[in-house]
Amino acid sequence: MAEITAGMVRELREKTDAPMMECKKALAEAGGEMAKAEEILRIKLGSKASKAASRVTAEGIVATYISDDSKIGAIVEVNCETDFVAKNREFIAFAGALAKLVALEKPADLAALSAVKLEDASVEEVRKGLVGRIGENIAVRRLARIAAKGGLVSYVHGGAKIGVIVDVVGGDQALAKDLAMHIAASKPVALSKDEVPVSVVQRERDIAVAKAAESGKPANIVEKMVDGAVQKFLREVTLLGQPFVKDDKRTVEQLLKSAGASVAAFVLYVVGEGLNRKKDDFAAEVMAQVGQARHQEERRTSPLS
């Protein structure tokens, strides 16, 4: 059986807000697997038991670029070790320059971007130079480039911790900006139900089945409960199904229809999404150093050394 450490319990509690003992029990039941333990807590405690998607677990910024004609856009996430460096002028300028390069040079992936020239050196050489001057590791995590079917609008929020580019066909600039702000606030994972990954839908269905089974209701009722839960989930995570943040009496889909507009695509980046921030245990580090020093002293004074 996997050892359940205090650190694991603390991490699960921070992700879910569940009581400490419930976290420990869930980890034990999951054999120490964090993701599985989260699912167990969601089944037992409800959807409130998972906040992992909304937590920022690494530092850095999101930078965007849109061409003057609003037809070409790009978005990048650049990570660093501390929030202090995320506010550094050179770091911010580097991220902004990368967004423009992605839009204009069309690199296929991060490896291709690293070889693109930025002034007189490659992006990778500039990155290494920046690491040397600032004294922290810096990494370009992800990028996306959009060629618009309509017109592009970008929006960054929270000290550039959240960045959005949205391609809106029809409507006006105000509508497009409102949609970008809505996406930043509501964080949809897909445009419509059809675009939600099958694995994500299946995961929610499995959770709904487990929760409904505990109700003790007849099978036909359980089936309806599961279908209802999945449909509710899909409305919550798709842009078109979400209530519009400025008018929750209608969905984004209804808003777009009333304006004779549509969304062709969007990209949303949240800094550190899906990453785990390293948490240093200062006391443990000190004790380890003391132990190492003691071991070296014993070796130095030993008659056998």
- CA 61 – CA 49 distance, rounded (Å): 27
pLDDT of residue 51: 42
- CA 231 – CA 258 distance, rounded (Å): 24
Residues 6+ apart with CB under 8 A from 115: 122, 123, 124
Per-residue pLDDT reduced to its tens digit, 39-61? 887 777 654 444 433 433 379 99
Q: Which residues pair with 72 in a beta bridge?
A: 147
pLDDT of residue 305: 45
Q: Strand runs (DSSP E) across 209-251, as ranges?
A: 243-244, 247-251
pLDDT of residue 57: 35
Range with the poorest average pLDDT among 142-146, 210-214, 260-264:
210-214
Identify the residue whose tokens are 């519009």.
Answer: 244
Kindly report the average pLDDT of the chain as a whole number.
85
Closest CA to 193 of 225, 223, 231: 231
Identify the residue whose tokens are 């419509």.
Answer: 192
Q: Note the pTM of the prediction, 2 decimals.
A: 0.71
pLDDT of residue 10: 85
Element housing 182 (H / E): helix 173-186
pLDDT of residue 281: 45
CB 101 within 8 A of CB 116: yes
Per-residue pLDDT reduced to its tens digit, 276-286? 655 444 444 44
CB 75 within 8 A of CB 267: yes
**pLDDT value at 274 more than 80:** no
